[in-house]
Amino acid sequence: MRRCLLVVLACLLGVWDGAAAQSWPTKPIRAIIPFGGGSATDVVPRIVLEQLAAQLGQPIVVEN
């Protein structure tokens, strides 16, 4: 039983190490807004996405 727990723990540590090395997101984020450009329903998401891009440090491309 103890040997089984050690094997499981070793496997989990191996998986955890690989996942921690990846950075996200690696490409620019594409946001699709299903409304016409220039309307109020277009301006508000652009403001929010601009702040989100600053926090993530990754550009966000807005498409209508």
Q: What is the pLDDT of residue 16?
A: 53
Q: What is the pLDDT of residues 8-53, one digit of tens each?
A: 766 666 655 555 555 677 789 999 988 888 888 888 889 999 999 9
Q: Which amino acid, residue 10? A: A
- Which of the pair, 22 or 54, is modelled with greater confidence? 54
Q: What is the pTM of this model?
A: 0.58
Is the omega angle on the peptide bond into residue 28 within 30 degrees of 0, that is, cis? no
